[in-house]
């Protein structure tokens, strides 16, 4: 079933990050090659997992607890809900270290802010 992203939510702990425009989660696994002599094709096995996240929002300066909690170097719990936070919706949660905050402005647009974070440990995927 397809979902519409307009209902997405990101929380830092229990504080929602306000005015989100978009967010992304990259969840990966390293691999090592297990091919041996005589094999007709290369084979691999998964090893260590890693994840990162980015959040783009309208900058709310000092009026939003969620945005205020995302400072470089801080360790936070991110709860990311791609389809919303209603009962039965899937969400991703994990501890992350905030790696960057970037504020951008233009004469013909709102002031925007981007946050990046590196997962610290595994990412859990569950439902509300």
Q: What is the pTM of this model?
A: 0.88
Tens digits of residue pLDDT in 40-65: 999 999 999 999 999 999 999 888 99
Q: Domain count of the chain?
A: 1
Domain of 28, CATH number, reads 2.30.110.20
126 Cβ partners below 8 Å, 6+ apart? 90, 91, 93
Tens digits of residue pLDDT in 80-95: 999 988 899 899 999 9
Tens digits of residue pLDDT in 10-37: 999 999 999 999 999 999 999 999 999 9
């Amino acid at each position: 079933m397809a979902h519409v992203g307009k209902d997405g939510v990101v929380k830092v702990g229990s504080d929602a990050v306000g005015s989100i425009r978009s967010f992304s989660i990259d969840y990966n696994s390293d691999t090592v090659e297990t091919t041996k002599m005589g094999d007709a094709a290369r084979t691999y096995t998964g090893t260590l997992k890693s994840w990162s996240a980015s959040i783009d929002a309208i900058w709310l300066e000092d009026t939003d607890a969620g945005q205020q909690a995302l400072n470089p170097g801080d360790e936070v719990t991110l709860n990311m809900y791609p389809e919303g936070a209603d009962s039965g919706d899937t969400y991703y949660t994990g501890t992350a270290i905030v790696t960057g905050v970037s504020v951008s402005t233009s004469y013909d647009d709102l002031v925007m802010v981007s946050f990046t974070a590196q997962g610290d440990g595994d990412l859990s995927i569950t439902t509300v």
